[in-house]
Structure 1
């Protein structure tokens, strides 16, 4: 059972997250040759003040 975890800054809509999870599932089905109901996709969201790149929080970008 493939499991994919996506880390992202919060702020995307439910529709955007659903579309991403569907697209990832389709890619795994195609490239790993597994059934869609075996693919687990989880989106882990962080607040913009809890994530940084190069030491600069996303909330300050």
Structure 2
């Protein structure tokens, strides 16, 4: 499922930024909120130069 909306965090969103950084570092976390338990997975949107070359069928773009 691709994201449909971009949410821009401000400096005031420090706790959420910290949560995202910690989750990205580990790949995923289990979050318990009351009676519900969620698995949260986070990954960076950056594509490496090698990955970009692969996705563009070796046509290097800048």
Shorter chain as denominator, the TM-score bin is under 0.3
The structure with the greater share of residues assigned to helix is 1
Work out which of the two has the higher radius of gyration on C-alpha atoms and give 1 or 2: 2
If the length of structure 1 is used for normalisation, what is the TM-score? 0.26
Structure with greater contact order relative to length (CA < 8 Å, sep ≥ 6): 1
TM value normalised by structure 2: 0.26
